[in-house]
Amino acid sequence: MHETMDMADDPEYEEEEPSFSDSEDFVDDIEDDELLSDLMREKPLEADGIDSVVVVDNVPQVGPERLEKLKNVVNKIFSKFGKITNEFWPMDNGTTKGYIFLEYLAPTQAQEAVKNADGYKLDKQHTFRVNVFTDFDKYMNISDEWETPEKQDFKDFGNMRHWIEDPDCRDHFSVIYESGERTAIYANDAKESITVEERARWTETYVRWSPKGTYLATFHQRGIALWGGEKFKQIQRFSHQGVSLIDFSPCERYVVTFSPLMDTKEDPQAIIIWDILTGQKKRGFHCESSAHWPIFKWSHDGKFFARMTQDTLSIYEAPSMGLLDKKSLKIFGIKDFSWSPGDNVIAYWVPEDKDIPARVTLSHMPTREEIRVRNLFNVVDCKLHWQRNGDYLCVKVDRTPKGTQGVVTNFEIFRMREKQVPVDVVEMKEGIIAFAWEPNGSKFAVLHGESPRINSSFYHVKNNGKIDLIKSFDKQQANSIFWSPQGQFLVLAGLRSMNGALAFVDTSDCTMMNIAEHYMASDVEWDPTGRYVVTSVSWWSHKVDNAYWLWTFQGRLLQKNNKDRFCQLLWRPRPATLLGAEEIKVIKKDLKKYSKIFEQKDRLSQSKASKELVDKRRAMMDEYRLYREAAVQTLLEQKELRLELRGGVDTDELDSNVEDWEEETIEFFINEEIIPLGDL
C-alpha cells in the first residue's frame, strides 16, 4: 500500500486504490503447481544429470583388496575430462563386475571422456570402452530390421539452359542497383534490353554467375542461395554463416564458400566445399586469411583442386575431397602456383635461395611428373599468365640483373603444345602496367611505360617460336586490357584515375577502330559472344553518374543506361559450344548466307523501332496539344477578368498594348559568332 500512497500525489492516481490484503479468515487452498508452475517445472528430476554419466566397460575384475588401487588409477584417467561427482562400481560375489558408472558435472565433460578415453589401453588384456549412458537407450531402440530410406522426389527445375534457346541469341546479364537494394536480370538487345527478372533485396552484397551460366549465386548473412531455370527459382541453399566469398569449380559440380566467422579448432568451417547437385557439405577447411581468393584453385575439369601454404602445395581429389596420394608436395619457398586452363598441368615458382636459382616448374597431375623446369636468375618477382586454352604460358619475370640499376621485365613464353615445351624470351625495357593473352589465339597485348607516356604493344607468338612485335601505339590513356572472349578485338581502358578513356582495337591489322570515353568508368565487361562490351561507373567506386553503357565491339555506343546507385553488371556466361571444329568451319564458310538473313532482320527491327519512337512522340504530342487547347480556352474566357485587374490594359500579347509604347532606336555594333548548341 505504501507505493500507492506515493502515487496519490499524481493527479491521475487520485481515486482510492482497492485493498489487496487478505481477509482474516482466508484459507490458502491453491496448490504449489498452480501458483508456481514456472518454478516447479525446473524442479530436479531423477533423470537429471543422466547426460553426464558414462559407462566404462572392460575394467579389470578385482577383489576388495585391490579395489582401492584400481579406483585410484581409473580416477586419474577419467578426472582429466572434468570433475567426477559420482561413481558406482557394481559388485558380484566380492569382485567388481568389470563395468563402472561415472558421473561428471556436465554432459560436455562426459562427451569429452567418450571421445578421448574410449579405446584407452590400460594393459594388454584391458582396453576401455566408454559410452555415454544415454546412448545405451538409443541403441536399444534401434530396430534390427533394415529400413530403406524414403525416396525423395526428383525436383524438376525445368530447362536449366533455357536462355540459350532464345531465337535472337540474346545474352543475359545481371545488374545490381539502388546500392544493392534491387537486382535485375536483363536479356541484352542492341535497342533496349528486356527485363527477365527483377527482385528487391535478392542479395545482401553481390551476385556471382556459375562458370557455365547455369546458376546465379546470391549472398546472405546465413549463406549462399543458387537460382536458375526459366523463372529463376531457388535451386539450392548452402548454409554458411557470414559467407563473404565463393568460387565455383569449372565443371559447376562444386562450390567453395568462405566465411571469416565460424572457424573452430576441432571443426574446420572457414572454407566449405559443397556439392551443388545434392547440397551436401563435402569438406571443411581451416583458413587464416582470405587475402588471395580463391584459396583453392581448381583444375580445368574440376577433378582436382589445390592450395598453397608455407612450403607446401596440397592437391586434393574430387569427389573424395581427400589429398591426392594422401600427401602434400613439399616445395620450399613456393610463392605462387596456377593450373593450366586446358590440361591437368600445374605451374609454380620458387624464388632464389642463396646459390640455387629461382625456378618455374610445370608438373603434370596426378602423375606429379615434371614436364619442364626453368631456372631464372636475379628474380624479384614472377607472375603466371595462362592463355585461356592452355596453349601458352607467359611468366612475367621482374629481374635486377647484376651491374644494372632498377628492374627489367622479361616475358618467358612457354609453348605448351610442343615437344619438351620450348621457352622464348621477350625483353621489356619499361615497366609493365598490364599484360593479357588473346583468349583463343597466339597474340598478347602489353601496356608499358610510365604515366603519362604509356605505350601499348601487340605481339604474336609464331609456331617457330619467333615472337613478333606487330604494332605499338604510344601515348595511350590506359591501365587495363580487355580482350574479346572470341579474340581479335580488345578494349584498352583507362579506368578510374584515368577518367575512363577507351580505345577499341582490332588486332588483325592493329587499327584503332574508335577512341571514346566513359567518364570515371570503373569496369569493362565483354559479353560472352564478343559482340558487345559494357563499360560502367559503379557506385562502389564512385558516387555520381552511376551508369552502364553498351557498345558494339567496334566501339559504337548503343545505349546509356543511368541507374540510380548502380553497383555491378555481370554477363551470364555461356557453356562451351557443342559444335565441333569442322562444323564451325562450315558455318564460317557460309557466313555470307547467314549475314543476309540477319541483316534483313536487323533492318526490320530498326524500322520498327524508329516507327515506335515516332508513334510514341506523336501520341505524347497529341495529348499535350489537347491539354494546351483546353488551357488556352480557359485563358480566353478569363480575358475580361485580366483586363479588369490591369486597369483595362491588354497585356495578353507582348505587343497588344503597342499604343502605350515609346519608341527609341539604339544601334550597337555586334560582333557575330556562331556557337553550336551542343549536340543536337
Partner 1 sequence: MKPILLQGHERSITQIKYNREGDLLFSVAKDTVVNAWYSVNGERLGTYNGHTGAVWCVDCDWDTKNVLTGSADNSCRLWDCETGKQLALLETSSAVRTCGFDFSGNIIMFSTDKQMGYQCFLNFFDLRDPQQIKDNQPYMTVPCSESKITSAVWGPLGDYVIAGHESGEINQFSAKSGEVLKKIKEHTKQINDMQSSVDLTMVISASKDNTAKLFDSTTLDHIKTFKTERPVNSAAISPIMDHVVMGGGQEAMEVTTTSSRIGKFEARFFHAAYEEEFGRVKGHFGPINCVAFHPDGKSYSSGGEDGYVRIHCFDPHYFDFELEA
Q: Which residue has the cell 571444329?
A: 581
| Long-range contact pairs involving 19-27 (C-beta distance under 8 Å, separation at least 24) | none
Main-chain phi, psi angles of 635, to 5 degrees: -60, -45
Q: Which is nearer to partner 1, 177 or 483 (CB)?
A: 177
Q: Which is nearer to partner 1, 26 or 668 (CB)?
A: 668
Least distance from C-beta 594 to partner 1, angstroms?
32
220-231 as b/e, with b when 16 or more CB fall inside 10 Å?
beebbbbbbbee
Position 556 contacts partner 1 (CB under 8 A): no
Q: Which is nearer to partner 1, 471 or 565 (CB)?
A: 565
Position 634 contacts partner 1 (CB under 8 A): yes
Task: Estimate the crossing angle of helix 581-589 against helix 591-637, to 10 degrees.
Answer: 60
Least distance from C-beta 26 to partner 1, angstroms?
59
What 8-state DSSP symbol labels residue 50? G
Least distance from C-beta 641 to partner 1, angstroms?
6
* Segment holding 173, helix H or strand E: strand 172-177
Q: Which is nearer to partner 1, 353 or 545 (CB)?
A: 545
Q: Please select the residue that binds partner 1; options are 5, 621, 650, 656, rule is CB under 8 A.
A: 621
Separation of CA 404 from chain center: 43
Site for partner 1 in 185-244 (CB under 8 A): none
Strands 379-386 and 453-461: unpaired
Q: Which is nearer to partner 1, 170 or 542 (CB)?
A: 542
Spell out where 243-301 has E strands: 245-248, 254-258, 271-275, 281-285, 297-298
Dihedral in degrees, nearest 10, Cα atoms 339, 343, 345, 347: -40
Spell out where 21-99 has E strands: 53-57, 84-88, 91-92, 95-96
Amino acid identity at 359:
R
Least distance from C-beta 502 to partner 1, angstroms?
15
Q: Please select the residue that binds partner 1; options are 47, 544, 576, 578, rule is CB under 8 A.
A: 544
Rounded Cα distance between 131 and 53, Å, is 9
Position 181 contacts partner 1 (CB under 8 A): no
Terminal C-alpha separation, the chain: 86
Rounded Cα distance between 663 and 53, Å, is 114
Position 519 contacts partner 1 (CB under 8 A): yes
Site for partner 1 in 560-589 (CB under 8 A): 562
Position 662 contacts partner 1 (CB under 8 A): no
Main-chain phi, psi angles of 410, to 5 degrees: -115, 145
Position 629 contacts partner 1 (CB under 8 A): no
Q: Give a three-class secondary structure readout of 525-587.
A: EECCCCCEEEEEECCCCCCCCCEEEEEECCCCEEEEEECCCCCEEEECCCCCCCCCHHHHHHH
Q: For the chain, how long is the longest CA-to-CA vector?
A: 139
Rounded Cα distance between 132 and 628, Å, is 89
Position 678 contacts partner 1 (CB under 8 A): yes
CB atoms closer than 10 angstroms to residue 307: 18
Q: Which is nearer to partner 1, 425 or 614 (CB)?
A: 614
Position 48 contacts partner 1 (CB under 8 A): no
Least distance from C-beta 638 to partner 1, angstroms?
6
Q: How many residues bind partner 1 (CB under 8 A)?
A: 40
Give the full edge-to-edge strand order of the sheet including 379-386: 379-386, 392-399, 408-415, 423-428
Strands 271-275 and 281-285: antiparallel
Least distance from C-beta 645 to partner 1, angstroms?
4
Span near partner 1 by CB under 8 A; candidates 304-312, 340-348, 501-509, 651-659 = 651-659
Show Cβ contacts of residue 597 under 8 Å, excluding neighbours closer than 6 positions.
none
Span near partner 1 by CB under 8 A; candidates 41-49, 63-71, 489-497, 541-549 = 541-549
Q: Please select the residue that binds partner 1; options are 469, 591, 609, 632, rule is CB under 8 A.
A: 632
Rounded Cα distance between 364 and 339, Å, is 10
Q: Which is nearer to partner 1, 288 or 673 (CB)?
A: 673
Span near partner 1 by CB under 8 A; candidates 236-244, 502-510, 581-589, 668-676 = 668-676
Q: Please select the residue that binds partner 1; options are 617, 648, 656, 659, rule is CB under 8 A.
A: 617
Position 640 contacts partner 1 (CB under 8 A): no
Position 635 contacts partner 1 (CB under 8 A): yes
Position 545 contacts partner 1 (CB under 8 A): yes
Least distance from C-beta 455 to partner 1, angstroms?
26
Span near partner 1 by CB under 8 A; candidates 33-41, 203-211, 477-485, 624-632 = 624-632
Least distance from C-beta 618 to partner 1, angstroms?
5
Position 624 contacts partner 1 (CB under 8 A): yes
Position 140 contacts partner 1 (CB under 8 A): no
- Written as nine digits, the cell of 391 is 596453349
Q: Please select the residue that binds partner 1; options are 25, 641, 648, 663, rule is CB under 8 A.
A: 641
By CB under 8 A, name the binding residues for partner 1.
519-520, 544-545, 547, 562, 614, 617-618, 620-621, 623-625, 627, 631-632, 634-635, 638, 641-642, 645-646, 649, 651-652, 654, 666, 668, 670-675, 677-680
